[in-house]
Amino acid sequence: MHIDQIRTFLDVVSTGNFHKTAENLNVSQSSVSARIRTLEDELGRKLFTRGHTGAVLTPSGERLLRHATSLSRLWQRARQDVALAEQYRDSISLGVAISLWDQLEIQWVSWMRDRAPDVAVHVEADFSPGLMAHLRDGVLDVGLMYEPQKAPGLTIEEFMSDRLFLLTSQGRCRVDDPDWRKGYVKIDWGEPFKQDHDAAFPDLTPELTAGLGMIAVRYILEFGGSAYLPVRMVMQHIRSGLLHPVKGAPVFERMGCLVYGNSPANKDLLVLGLQGLRDVTKAFEAEASELIASWD
């Protein structure tokens, strides 16, 4: 039994589709089929039934799933432990969705350094599908993202309500003032935001569309404009008077979620890491709420 077979098995369980798994693993669909077939031959049991609805686990596949998740994580943890420098007793890794990447993760690293200086810390940014794959494989201990998809062996916890405010560099104005529409940047904050945004502003044509909030911020500060942004991302620019809230504009919300394994290799360390994320986020939210209250 090879670890690539286990990873392929877990990905097919998650996607329910051999073709999607091939795309996720960057291999051919025939390679995916061959890995699953080899695994079935070694176990002497059929693991999936394939039909119009996709690949569905058989009873034998269901029984393997419990062990496969543990095997994948155990292998990744072994690789990390072997590579660990001697001054560290353990390691913890955090993956953050690119759309959420800002000062929060740096503050978390500082929090961990203060409370567990003998723990190696790894942080990375990626899109949600990549983070979920690393969480399933045990490469990451914790993920922070929007709209995670359910996956076997992983817990999804609603973590923070991210409020998006319409902010502009055009000075103080109201939502019925046309000035803020100049240089408007529409950011891809996910499908729920897109639906709410388009319903609220059906005739608004953006000058620029962006996949990342920081791209919009840099554009607006350089050329002027407006965008929907989380206050925590631009607090210094609001305080300095470079950005202003558009009065009367609707506020949109997105739910940020924590994702982590059900059976961590070091439960105490995971609990500590999660507490650090909660403490750091709480501090950011308190600072942002104080700033928002000053607008009234």
- Spell out, as residue ranges, where the chain has pLDDT lower than 50: none
CATH fold of 3-79, please? Arc Repressor Mutant, subunit A (1.10.10)
CATH fold of 161-254, please? D-Maltodextrin-Binding Protein; domain 2 (3.40.190)
> 89-156+259-293 in CATH: which number?
3.40.190.10
| The total number of residues written for the chain in this structure | 296
Report pLDDT for 84. 63
Report pLDDT for 265. 80
The DSSP annotation for 235-283 comes to HHHHHTTS-EEEET---EEEEEEEEEESS-SSHHHHHHHHHHHHHHHHH
Provide the whole-model pTM: 0.70
Report pLDDT for 66. 77
**DSSP helix/strand/coil, 186:** strand
Domain residue ranges in the chain: 3-79, 89-156+259-293, 161-254
Report pLDDT for 85. 63
Report pLDDT for 136. 83
The domains spanning 3-79 and 89-156+259-293 adopt the same CATH topology:
no
